Structures are given as structure tokens and as C-alpha cells.
Amino acid sequence: MDTYDLIMRNAEEVVTDEEVRDLAAEPEGKRVYVGYEPSGVLHLGHLLTANKLIDLQEAGLEVVVLLADVHAYLNGKGSFEEIRETAEQMKAQFVAYGLEEENTEFVYGSSFQLEEDYTLDLHELELSTTMNRAQRAMAELQSGETAKVSHLVYPLMQTLDIEYLDLDLAVGGLDQRKVHMLAREKLPELDYEVRPCLHTPIVADLTTGEGKMSSSEGVTISMEDSTEELEEKVNSAFCPPTRDPEDDLENPVLELFEYHVFPRFDEIVVERPEKYGGNLTYEAYETLANDLESGELHPADAKGTLATYLDELIAPGREKLRELRN
């Protein structure tokens, strides 16, 4: 797979394709980042963007992980001491998951977001940005939560992070698109260059196939799940053998194969007794998806295989969590 294809693998959208092609032509020394609010144990939402960072490391880019402690503080996630303890645990989990520690720069937001130049730039953005514009870029609030001034400042800081981390590419889930568009709009007003951005997909709710998988609502899979808990969650997942084109439901089992499993394994083996046709081996996601659609692969076999491979992926992080807590 060439550099451009590796950068683009499982990307839902890039802005712009021309800018990303230029980046792929000369990746050496180019810096890419994802920002993570230190809020707890890593789950599949974190790990989807982490898979993309692993791709980008393989493509030759320098990876920066922003441990956004100031953002977490503004979001009411605890004291700085508590947030930094969580951030260190998350750092260890990312490395256990597969990010190359020697080639990954982990940066605390507080290491630069409290400096004078950053603060003055932030005030400049506050002066030039309407409340309506900031609200459009603001993250969705939990049900019943009231917006605070800190929620409006949050996306303005994300805009500045792209400049102050000296980045060449910003990566995030598709839900970060509105922040990245704000950055492309606002950075030139401060005489800073715009950067391309890459958005990864959002996996559907595990049990219904609707909306998005969320750690705060519904069921998700995290690094602290035991093998048995993981198997139970996957086995209860929504997985219709065929997709009705008339509805808006997705197949989260297939999405997890596409975005989590196939990027990390060269081949996937579905183990079946000979009386049910014997083992199936897949080297491409599309073949597995087609077999599920045709009936060659039963949903129960797909779920069992998915659980096995997901467990292999998160097992090192699960063990690291045990070490940190003992």
C-alpha cells in the first residue's frame, strides 16, 4: 500500500484531498496529531483514531498525541492532579495498544496553553468569534447539561492547538469536523496557515445500529473489559445478515471488523467445525462482508471471531491497567 492509500485508509473524509496528496508525497518530518481529553479508560472510540495514528506512523509521519488536560479541566473532569493521573494512564494504554513510544510525542496541553502568546491569541479569537459560531463548533452536551462559557472557549483552544503544536495534519473523528472547519476559517485571521484534516468514521451503537457508539450512553467496549465481558457485548451486538437499504441502521459488527480488526491483522480466520463448512480465511474486509450478506458466514460466527480479535488487540492495554492499579 502506497503512502497516500495508507493515510487515506478508513478515512471518512479529508479536507482537502489535494493537501493530503501533497503531504503524502513528502511525509518525512511532517507532524500529525489527535487530541484526547483525559477522561478515563480507553474505549473503541479512542482506538479507532489510534488505529489511524498507527497507519500514519507506518506512512512515515511524526505522531503527536495531545493529552488535553486543560480541556478536561474546562469540561469539569476533575482537578489538574486527577486529570494528569488519568492522562498518564491513557499514555500507557496507547503504547500498549500499539503506538510506537519512541516515535510518539505525548504533549500535555498545559505545557503550552497557559503561555502568554497562546493566551493572547485565544483572546484575539474570543474577540473575533461570535457566540453562535463558537456554539456551532462546540461538542454536543450530555442530556440535561447546560452550556457554560468554558464550552465555548473549548473549540477556540482546539483551533490554536493546531498552530502551537506545529502540525501538518489534524486527525479526529467525524464529530471533530466542525472544530477543524473553524480552525481553517480562523487561523488565517491570525496570519497562521491552514492545515489539512482527516476524519475517521463514527461506529454505530453496538446494540441497535443507530446513532454512534458512546461510552456515556449505551454500550461500548473498553480496555478494562474482561474477555468474558467483551464476548458478552459482541455476542449481543446488532448484526443483521443483510442490510435494508430503506433504513438508516448500520451493522456495528461489520464496522468493527473494517475499522479495528482488518487494519491490524493481515488475515482473519473464522474457525468453524467441518460439519459447518470448516474454517474461513479472509485477507480483505470486503470478502467477509460479502460472505455475511450471502449467508456463507453466519452472524454468530462473525461475532465470535470479532470478539477473539478485539480481545487480542485490547489485552495488552488491559494488562497495563492492572499493573498501574496494583
Domain enclosing residue 91, as ranges: 3-200
pLDDT digits (tens, 9 = 90+) for 166-204: 999 999 999 999 999 999 999 999 999 999 999 999 999
Is residue 270 domain-shared with residue 174, that is, in the same domain?
Answer: no
Is residue 19 domain-shared with residue 80, that is, in the same domain?
Answer: yes
Residues in the chain: 326
ω before 16 within 30° of 0 (cis)? yes
Burial class (CB in 10 A: 0-12, 13-18, 19+), 315: middle
pLDDT digits (tens, 9 = 90+) for 97-119: 999 999 999 999 999 999 999 99
Is residue 157 domain-shared with residue 262, that is, in the same domain?
Answer: no
Is residue 176 a known part of a binding site?
yes
Is residue 245 domain-shared with residue 192, that is, in the same domain?
Answer: no
pLDDT digits (tens, 9 = 90+) for 128-174: 999 999 999 998 877 678 889 999 999 999 999 999 999 999 999 99
Q: Is residue 57 part of a domain?
A: yes
What domain count does the chain have? 2
CATH of the domain at 181: 3.40.50.620
Is residue 161 a known part of a binding site?
yes
pLDDT digits (tens, 9 = 90+) for 1-38: 899 999 999 999 999 999 999 999 999 999 999 999 99
Is residue 121 a known part of a binding site?
no
Q: Is residue 221 part of a domain?
A: no
pLDDT attached to residue 232: 97
Exposure class string for 96-124: b at 16+ Cβ within 10 A, else e? bbbbeeeebebbbbbebbeeeebeebbee
Using a pLDDT cut of 70, give the percent of the chain over it.
96
pLDDT digits (tens, 9 = 90+) for 204-238: 999 988 887 765 566 789 999 999 999 999 999 99
pLDDT attached to residue 134: 94
Is residue 259 a known part of a binding site?
no
pLDDT attached to residue 43: 94
pLDDT attached to residue 216: 57
Is residue 154 a known part of a binding site?
yes
Q: Is residue 294 part of a domain?
A: yes
Q: Which of 50, 71, 63, 61 is nearest to 22 (CA)?
A: 61
Is residue 118 domain-shared with residue 11, that is, in the same domain?
Answer: yes
**pLDDT(81) > 70:** yes
pLDDT attached to residue 251: 94
Is residue 110 domain-shared with residue 150, that is, in the same domain?
Answer: yes
Q: DSSP label at 164?
A: H
> Per the structure block, which three cell numbers stand in for 296?
456463507
pTM given for the model? 0.94
Question: Which is more confidently placed, 264 or 210?
Answer: 264
CATH of the domain at 271: 1.10.240.10
Is residue 9 domain-shared with residue 142, that is, in the same domain?
Answer: yes
What residues contact 301, with CB distance under 8 A and at least 6 apart?
270, 272, 276, 280
240-254, 260-274, 280-294: which range is least confident on average?
240-254
- Looking at residues 79-95, what average pLDDT do you find? 96
Is residue 131 domain-shared with residue 231, that is, in the same domain?
Answer: no
- State the Cα angle at 107 between 37 and 65, rounded to 5°: 60
Is residue 118 domain-shared with residue 12, that is, in the same domain?
Answer: yes
Is residue 195 domain-shared with residue 77, that is, in the same domain?
Answer: yes
Is residue 110 a known part of a binding site?
no
Is residue 169 domain-shared with residue 248, that is, in the same domain?
Answer: no
pLDDT attached to residue 242: 73
CB 31 within 8 A of CB 130: no
